[in-house]
Amino acid sequence: MTSSPEPRWPADPIEAVAAHWQREPFFALFNVAVEALDEGYARIGVDRDDMPLRGVRDSINGGVVGSLGEAAARLCLTTQLAAEERLGATHEVSVSYLTSARGEHTTAEARLLRRGRRIAVADVELRDTTDGAINAKIRVSMGIERAEAS
């Protein structure tokens, strides 16, 4: 009797995507956790006490806020890529800072607004989970590339 080969794709592709992103340097450096993933949706979170960079009034640094938004958007797009596609460059990140992110736990929740053949756009809300306040609205445009044939 021969053993069956290992499956090419994991039983839970969303779980595999989350595990991959947890190993990314940005996620490790800033203690970012993947909290939720679905088709065209991603939520990441960070505890302020674990954040090494601080901004005004002991909030999360503004540059980190933009980077959290971009990371959530790129993770969100990853859930929509076909096997022959990969993430391309980020084309634009627009951040509207509304309030300082000073809550104990902050999330960046991304939803895919549009996905074309070569460009995708995501909308991200960064909010404190303590009081539900929206700290920033972030819009991210990203490229989609075809993986080269081997």
Q: Letter for the amino acid at 138?
A: I
Quick check: is 8 in a domain? no
> What is the arithmetic mean of pLDDT over 11-31?
74
Quick check: is 5 in a domain? no
In this predicted model, what pLDDT tens digit does every residue of 73-122 receive, in sequence order? Answer: 999 999 899 989 999 999 999 999 999 998 899 999 999 999 999 999 99
Q: What is the CATH number of the domain that holds 41?
A: 3.10.129.10
Quick check: is 120 in a domain? yes
Instruction: Report how many domains make up the chain.
Output: 1
Distance between CA atoms of 35 and 18, rounded to whole angstroms?
9
Under the banding of pLDDT at 50, 70 and 90, the label for residue 6 is very low
> Which of 52-56, 114-118, 120-124, 140-144 is the least confident region?
52-56
pLDDT of residue 65: 94
Distance between CA atoms of 129 and 85, rounded to whole angstroms?
34
